[in-house]
């Protein structure tokens, strides 16, 4: 769980809209990639600096400006100036650790979501903040790090395949969102595999190490819930928005994306339930096993206690102990002890103690 909480402390007391670099610096310098397309034309290039955006704004094609890296404050500031973004929007883009949300500023719509990813072979899930600005000029997408989640979309635009080349920036926004949501399923399936593995293990061979895994997964759940629940509100906000930036034919796709966010939440809740049940099973199987041990051992100890007393009796050194000089005294003691053990055993059995 990357800790994004500390990012706000540095800013307490500063006026709203102050741009200072907060969050871990994750890439060396900011890269701006511009894709410009409509049904007929297509161009793709890396821009040298933010200023280069200025003249593009008025062309009639759809523009998709992808900004990777959020630490060059000047670049963000220039983009804000060129596209007329409110200082608070710039601040939100630059400040990672935002809750996913959607806000309609009239001229443009600002969407914040979380991208989930893994680092190498680690089990831990990290999240990266992705901000999208949908305006009449096209779409601006801001990523903390270089990512490949948008590659298939880029590929399809290049190849002029599917609906995307003919549709407007709202459809592009939907596609970007949908790519992020599809990515959730990949992460969740991995988590789900671990949950199911644990579910099998607790039934088959529960051992104390499993409890650590369960708690680790519960912590992951807290993290995932926090990152993914609000995405539903984001999509539902776009659906209910009366902005003219979203054309009616896109709504049906947003409804589909909404349905997927509901499925995401459903999966998380089902995994939580499954984990809780797994924990219950583990605890009751542990407790059963411990009881088993304690019971058998206690029964065994108890069987020997009277015997040890009996042999103690005949270890006493009294001068007058008539049993000691009996011919079959020793054998008699063994007989008495045998009967005692047998009686106790029978009693325990009848009580179903073991």
256 binds a copy of itself (CB under 8 A): yes
For 16, the token pair is 């709203």
Say how many C-beta atoms besides its own lie within 10 A of residue 136's C-beta: 11
For 26, the token pair is 């994750």
For 57, the token pair is 């704004």
Q: How many residues bind a copy of itself (CB under 8 A)?
A: 106
200 binds a copy of itself (CB under 8 A): no
How far apart CA 259 and CA 155 sit, in angstroms, is: 26
14 binds a copy of itself (CB under 8 A): yes
How far apart CA 213 and CA 217 sit, in angstroms, is: 6
Residue from 3, 43, 58, 244 touching a copy of itself (CB under 8 A): that is 3
- Encoded one letter per residue, x for contact with a copy of itself by CB under 8 A and - for no contact, window 104-143 reads -x--------------------------------------
For 85, the token pair is 């973004």
241 binds a copy of itself (CB under 8 A): no
Comparison of 54 and 240: residue with beta carbon closer to a copy of itself? 240
Comparison of 48 and 312: residue with beta carbon closer to a copy of itself? 312
Q: Evaluate whether 125 touches 223 at the Cβ level (below 8 Å).
A: yes
- Encoded one letter per residue, x for contact with a copy of itself by CB under 8 A and - for no contact, window 293-322 reads xxx-xxxxxx-xxxxxx-xxxxxxxxxxx-
Residue with structure tokens 């807290």?
222
Q: Evaluate whether 129 touches 136 at the Cβ level (below 8 Å).
A: no
Looking at residues 78 to 107 of the shown chain, list those that interact with a copy of itself (rule: CB under 8 A). 86, 88, 92, 98-99, 101, 103, 105
CB of 325 to a copy of itself, least distance (A): 5
Cα distances (Å, whole numbers) of residue 300 to 215, 272, 294, 303, 304: 37, 42, 10, 5, 7
CB of 246 to a copy of itself, least distance (A): 16
Residue from 189, 197, 336, 339 touching a copy of itself (CB under 8 A): that is 189
């Amino acid at each position: 769980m990357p800790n994004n909480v500390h990012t706000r402390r540095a800013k307490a007391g500063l006026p709203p809209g102050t741009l200072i670099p907060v969050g871990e610096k994750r890439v060396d310098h900011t890269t701006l990639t511009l894709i410009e397309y409509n049904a007929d034309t297509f161009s793709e290039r890396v821009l040298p600096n933010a200023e280069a955006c200025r003249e593009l704004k008025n062309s009639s094609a759809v523009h998709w400006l992808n900004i990777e890296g959020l630490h060059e404050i000047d670049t963000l500031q220039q983009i804000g100036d060129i596209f007329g973004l409110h200082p608070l929007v710039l601040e939100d883009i630059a400040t990672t650790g935002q809750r996913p949300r959607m806000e309609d500023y009239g001229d443009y719509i600002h969407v914040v979501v979380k991208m989930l990813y893994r680092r190498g072979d680690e089990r831990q899930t990290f999240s990266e903040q992705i901000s999208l600005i949908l305006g009449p000029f096209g779409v601006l997408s801001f990523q903390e790090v270089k990512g490949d989640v948008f590659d298939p979309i880029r590929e399809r635009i290049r190849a002029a395949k599917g609906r995307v080349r003919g549709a407007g920036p709202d459809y592009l926004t939907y596609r970007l969102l949908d790519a992020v949501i599809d990515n959730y399923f990949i992460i969740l399936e991995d988590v789900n595999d671990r949950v199911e593995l644990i579910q099998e293990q607790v039934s088959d061979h529960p051992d104390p190490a499993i409890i650590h895994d369960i708690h680790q997964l519960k912590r992951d759940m807290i993290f995932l819930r926090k990152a993914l629940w609000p995405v539903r509100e984001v999509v539902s906000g776009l659906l209910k928005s009366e902005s003219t930036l979203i054309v009616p034919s896109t709504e049906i796709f947003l409804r589909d994306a909404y349905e997927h966010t509901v499925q995401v939440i459903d999966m998380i809740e089902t995994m939580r339930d499954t984990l809780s049940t797994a924990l219950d099973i583990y605890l009751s199987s542990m407790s059963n096993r411990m009881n088993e041990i304690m019971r058998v051992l206690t029964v065994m100890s108890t069987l020997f206690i009277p015997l040890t007393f009996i042999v103690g009796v005949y270890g006493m050194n009294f001068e007058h102990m008539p049993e000691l000089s009996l011919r079959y005294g020793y054998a008699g003691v063994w007989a008495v002890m045998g009967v005692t053990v047998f009686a106790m055993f029978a009693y325990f059995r009848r009580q179903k103690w073991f």
